[in-house]
Amino acid sequence: MKPVKLDETDIKVLELTKQYISGEKLAKILGISRAAVWKRIKKLEELGYRFSHSKKGYLLKETSPYLLENEVKPLLNTQLLGNEYLWFKTVSSTNDIGKEKNFPEGTVIVAEEQTKGRGRKGRKWVSVAEKGLYFSIVLKPKLPINKILQHALLFPLAITKTIEEFTSIKPYVKWPNDIYINGKKVSGVLIETEIENNEIKKAVVGIGINVNLTKEELEPVKEIATSLALEAGMPIDRKRFFAKLLKNLENMYQDFIENKLNVVKEVNELLLWKGEKVFVIDECKVVSGKIVGLNPVGGLVIEKNGKKEEFYTGDVSLRKQLSVN
Ligand code: BT5
């Protein structure tokens, strides 16, 4: 699988076809044959652009709905995230791509569809084509490992803030990696890290967000999932939402690295099911108790019979629900 990017000639075709232009004139301006012009138009149509073809020539009628670099970059005012931007129509998992090579920090890998979208512990992430956001960012934070949980909480925090700014809906963070709206999951984060000398050397941060998925498209996870569009009652502009999210992610990441952002305090305020009775399951134990909040390093504090238990990994579910995720 190779990332797809428009070249200079493709961009010129998009510019020149804003008004009707004949194939002959296009060929002349671009210095290519008419057959080559036709091929370009075909390629652009495969990438989601729509042209009218008539005696008057070609006219660009609709821009691509895809999160192509040339569609998102003009909306993006980041310094780091997206400097390297890889777009795929279909990919196994954007995290797989992020782990494959030594990409520079800030690389964004985005796909319209994933055939093997993953959650934690080998679970599946439903990734319906062109309806969600499925992307990974490559970071090299050089943080000591005792900050790994705070680093992980940074991403649900940034997603939550962006949803709130963009839609006025109030989402909550379900510790440690989910975003919930009205009791249902709208987004999840999967972070895969490389540790060296007790430092995070590389983190591939995979983010999945149900943006415009319908109830039918959410069928495999219908009991627990929702989408932004379902909650907002209207379709969401994926390109603008994505650009805003990348900007917020960058700002918050930089503030966190410079010790200017208290992630734990912020997540504590947005914590789902605070005060409610839950089950927490990690590799070693299952505890049923009330959520008290987060401890200073971002661990989850549960109270059971007046005694406090702390968790650093695991899954939380409401006691009245049966499923664990
Ligand atoms: C997560 O895992 O929530 C992390 C999801 C990360 C997905 C992104 S997409 C881009 C990047 N590339 C990847 O391959 N992955 C990342 P976890 O907490 O383990 O939750 C997984 C559980 O969420 C599943 O077992 C389902 O119950 C539920 N689920 C699956 N797809 C869902 C969806 N689209 N919406 C809501 N819930 C879903």
> How far apart are alpha carbons 28 and 35 in whole angstroms?
12
pLDDT at 325 over 70: no
> How far apart are alpha carbons 88 and 67 in whole angstroms?
9
The SS3 assignment for 259 reads coil
Contact 294, 263 (CB under 8 A): no
pLDDT of residue 321: 56
What average pLDDT does range 36-41 have in this prediction?
A: 96
pLDDT of residue 322: 47
pLDDT at 319 over 90: no
Domains and CATH numbers, the chain: 8-62 (1.10.10.10), 69-268 (3.30.930.10), 277-317 (2.30.30.100)
This prediction has a pTM of 0.96
Long-range contacts of 114-119, Cβ-Cβ distance < 8 Å, separation of 24 or more: 114/90, 115/90, 115/91, 116/92, 117/93, 117/208, 118/93, 118/190, 118/206, 119/188, 119/190, 119/325
What average pLDDT does range 156-161 have in this prediction?
A: 98
Mutational pocket test of ligand 1: of 87, 97, 124, 125, the residue with most ligand atoms within 8 Å of the beta carbon: 125
pLDDT at 235 over 60: yes
Give tens-digit pLDDT for 245-255: 999 999 999 99
The two three-digit tokens of residue 160, written as one number: 């939550």
What average pLDDT does range 70-83 have in this prediction?
A: 97
| Residue whose CA lies nearest to ligand 1 atom number 9 | 208
Sign of CA dihedral 144, 145, 146, 148: positive
First-residue to last-residue Cα distance in the chain: 31
Could you tell me where the DSSP H helices lie in the chain? 8-16, 23-30, 34-46, 69-72, 94-100, 148-167, 228-232, 238-257, 263-269
- Kindly give the distance from the C-alpha atom of residue 197 to the centroid of ligand 1, in angstroms, as a whole number: 30
pLDDT of residue 285: 85
Contact 130, 112 (CB under 8 A): yes
- Amino acid identity, position 103: F
pLDDT at 323 over 90: no
The two three-digit tokens of residue 285, written as one number: 């134990």
Give tens-digit pLDDT for 255-308: 999 999 999 999 999 999 999 999 999 988 899 999 999 999 999 999 999 999
- Residue 75 is given by DSSP the state G
CB-hemisphere CA count at 13 Å for 90? 4
- Looking up tokens 């430092």 gives 199
Give tens-digit pLDDT for 13-28: 999 999 999 999 999 9
DSSP string, 109-154: EEEEEESS-B-GGG-B----TTTSEEEEEEE----BGGGHHHHHHH
pLDDT at 148 over 60: yes
> How far apart are alpha carbons 110 and 211 in whole angstroms?
14
pLDDT of residue 320: 65
The SS3 assignment for 270 reads coil
CA angle centred on 157, ends 300 and 243, rounded to 5°: 160
* Binding pocket residue ranges, ligand 1, CB within 6 Å: 93-95, 114, 117-121, 123-126, 134-136, 177-178, 185, 188-190, 206-208, 210, 221, 224-225, 325
- Kindly give the distance from the C-alpha atom of residue 39 to the centroid of ligand 1, in angstroms, as a whole number: 38
> How far apart are alpha carbons 86 and 135 in whole angstroms?
10
- Kindly give the distance from the C-alpha atom of residue 122 to the centroid of ligand 1, in angstroms, as a whole number: 10
| Residue whose CA lies nearest to ligand 1 atom number 16 | 206
pLDDT band for position 324 (cuts 50, 70, 90): very low
